[in-house]
Amino acid sequence: MTYLLALDQGTSSSRSIVFDEAGHIVAQAQVELPQIYPKPGWVEHDPMEIWRTQLATAREALAKAGLKASAIRALGITNQRETTVVWNRATGQPIHHAIVWQDRRAEATCAQLREQGKEALIQAKTGLLVDAYFSGTKLKWLLDNVPGARAQAERGELAFGTIDSWLMWQLTGGALHATDVSNASRTMVFNVHSNQWDAELLALLDLPASLMPRVLPSSAHFGEVRPELLGSAITIGGVAGDQQSALFGQACFREGMAKNTYGTGCFMLMHTGNNFQTSHNGLLTTSAAQTTAQTEFAIEGSVFVGGAVVQWLRDGLHAIQGSGEVQALAQSVPDSGGVMMVPAFTGLGAPYWKPDARGTITGLTRGTTVAHIARAALESIAYQSAALLQAMSRDAVAAGAAPVSELRVDGGACINDLLMQFQADLLGIPVLRPAVIETTALGAAYLAGLSSGVYASTQELSGLWRAERTFVPTLGADRAAALMEQWEHAVRQTVQP
């Protein structure tokens, strides 16, 4: 039997999973990652803690599997994407905590770029909107605010990386400073047409080119793990940002195939093949995980509050004791009784982009119960995701392609049957839940397996994908459209006067 090891470094935890060559989970280990909140709107991680927890879970997963490192054909890495680390090349020590993707401290730089009229230039080259979400402005903040950092950077003494780069540097003992195209495409300074760091954009943010890692395809021979870390050397053969990795793990390799990850938020990606497709419906264009030097793209949209609405029912309303109770409570009523909930706790993301929106519950009557509110909260996840998919389908049709014909789902909340059925009903297309829902880690393992010869092609990987359950629409198109109109009406009520 051939085995692959995936390192899945996320925002809230570090995890490692051992897969067999059929894509089945053999063993896994997970450690929670502490969050650091120095100021309102600021979110940080300790890079050394990221490294320590990730290494610990890799060792634990191998031990649980009863395997030595020599049994692992290759290792893949997937990671929280825009989180930014800068370290000293000589010492390997970070110059500051990692600035996490959620962090908003670089908004002033973004406002300046908008005032300078640079939005169209940046979107044309990178596919991204100008936002503090992305890594480039975070990197500029570090150089401008950490004493001595800019002078060190100009002398070539510092290295920048997203979390994949940081882990590879540590795994190889500083021998490798690299990233893949999917992570590079989230920096706002990477030209996704040429797959190179863009000199004009680097100059725009005053970033020395010497900081930047080498960029490789997502499936490639990146380097070798130091033997003393896990017991023997392992080839690093695959790297991709978490959402592109999930798209790959879902075997969405062709234009028009789409997946939605239901986590704290929801992230939906639709593969657009080799076509760089600019969204006219509030979505981003991003590089997909690439197995060759050939460019591949995806359209992406994100929902800020997905599964987090269930946490709010538990911790804010105290409507449930544990998240697992929400389905039973919601199913205790036949429908939401006309209640609509828009969980715009931190504004609304794609396709609305309304940062000033605030959460609302509408349609309350004397007969409303906590069960109706729980059902409306659960349904809000499906409504937001349906709005994303409709925006994607409009973009696809405008580009001369077919609309999305099925949606593959993953992430923790996709185990909720009521939610998945309602999602299919709203969309009017089948919703497919795979046998392995850990598709983010699976994508990294598949990318590593491709470069190391475990798999011959993406066609072979498509053959491994299995649906555990398919949710078929049961509502008529008119009824689904009427429900979506009610949702859009509720969204309009969230914007403060």
pLDDT digits (tens, 9 = 90+) for 124-161: 999 998 888 899 999 999 999 999 999 999 999 999 99
Q: How confident is the model at residue 192 (pLDDT cuts 50, 70, 90)?
A: very high
- Inter-residue contact 146 to 97 (CB < 8 Å): no
Q: Which H or E run includes 98?
A: strand 98-99
pTM for this entry: 0.90
Task: Using the predicted structure, report yes or no on whether residue 339 has a pLDDT greater than 70.
Answer: yes
Q: How far apart are the first and last CA of the chain?
A: 62
Q: What is the pLDDT of residues 160-174, one digit of tens each?
A: 999 999 999 999 999
Please tell me the predicted confidence (pLDDT) of residue 20. 95
Strands (E) located in 91-184: 98-99, 158-161, 178-180
The residue-averaged pLDDT of 178-206 equals 97
Please tell me the predicted confidence (pLDDT) of residue 412. 82
C-alpha R_g of the chain: 22
DSSP string, 211-268: GSPEEE-SEEEEEE--HHHHSS--EEEEEEEHHHHHHHHTT--STT-EEEEESSSEEE
Cα 333 from chain centroid? 33
Decide which of 306 and 384 is more confident: 384
Residue 486 CB burial class (10 angstroms; 0-12, 13-18, ≥19): middle
Task: Using the predicted structure, report yes or no on whether residue 364 has a pLDDT greater than 90.
Answer: yes
Lowest-confidence range among 317-321, 386-390, 436-440, 448-452?
Answer: 317-321
Lowest-confidence range among 55-59, 111-115, 211-215?
Answer: 111-115
Task: Using the predicted structure, report yes or no on whether residue 203 has a pLDDT greater than 80.
Answer: yes
Q: What is the pLDDT of residues 231-262, one digit of tens each?
A: 999 999 999 999 999 999 999 999 889 999 98
**Strand order across the 467-471 sheet:** 284-287, 297-303, 266-271, 258-262, 407-410, 431-434, 467-471
Please tell me the predicted confidence (pLDDT) of residue 127. 93
Phi, psi of 416 (to 5 degrees): -80, 105
Q: What is the C-alpha separation between 387 and 279, in angstroms, rounded?
A: 14
The residue-averaged pLDDT of 408-436 equals 92
Work out the mean pLDDT of the chain and round it to a whole number.
92
Enumerate residues 6+ apart whose C-beta is below 8 A from 436.
Answer: 23, 24, 25, 249, 442, 466
Task: Using the predicted structure, report yes or no on whether residue 92 has a pLDDT greater than 80.
Answer: yes
- Inter-residue contact 410 to 262 (CB < 8 Å): yes
Q: How confident is the model at residue 496 (pLDDT cuts 50, 70, 90)?
A: low
Q: What is the C-alpha separation between 432 and 445, in angstroms, rounded?
A: 21
Q: Which domains does the chain have, with CATH numbers?
A: 3-233 (3.30.420.40), 251-434+466-497 (3.30.420.40)
Nearest one of 377, 368, 367 to 316, comparing CA atoms: 377
Q: How confident is the model at residue 227 (pLDDT cuts 50, 70, 90)?
A: very high
Please tell me the predicted confidence (pLDDT) of residue 345. 82
Please tell me the predicted confidence (pLDDT) of residue 139. 97
Cα 400 from chain centroid? 27
Please tell me the predicted confidence (pLDDT) of residue 217. 97
Q: What is the C-alpha separation between 168 and 218, in angstroms, rounded?
A: 13
Task: Using the predicted structure, report yes or no on whether residue 430 has a pLDDT greater than 90.
Answer: yes
Q: What is the C-alpha separation between 74 and 452, in angstroms, rounded?
A: 7
Ranges 193-202, 263-272, 398-407, most confident: 193-202
Q: What is the C-alpha separation between 265 and 350, in angstroms, rounded?
A: 11
Task: Using the predicted structure, report yes or no on whether residue 177 has a pLDDT greater than 70.
Answer: yes
For residue 392 the two structure tokens come to 């994607």
Rounded percentage of the chain residues whose pLDDT exceeds 90: 72
Task: Using the predicted structure, report yes or no on whether residue 346 has a pLDDT greater than 80.
Answer: no
Task: Using the predicted structure, report yes or no on whether residue 9 has a pLDDT greater than 80.
Answer: yes
The residue-averaged pLDDT of 305-328 equals 84
Q: What is the pLDDT of residues 432-463, one digit of tens each?
A: 999 998 999 999 999 999 999 999 999 999 99
Q: What is the C-alpha separation between 409 and 403, in angstroms, rounded?
A: 17
DSSP state of 97: P
Nearest one of 226, 250, 223, 255 to 239, comparing CA atoms: 223
Please tell me the predicted confidence (pLDDT) of residue 497. 59
Enumerate residues 6+ apart whose C-beta is below 8 A from 323.
Answer: 307, 310, 311, 314
Phi-psi map region of 6: left, alpha, beta (phi>0 left; psi -120 to 50 alpha):
beta
- Inter-residue contact 226 to 62 (CB < 8 Å): no
Owner of token pair 């599997």? 65
Please tell me the predicted confidence (pLDDT) of residue 351. 85
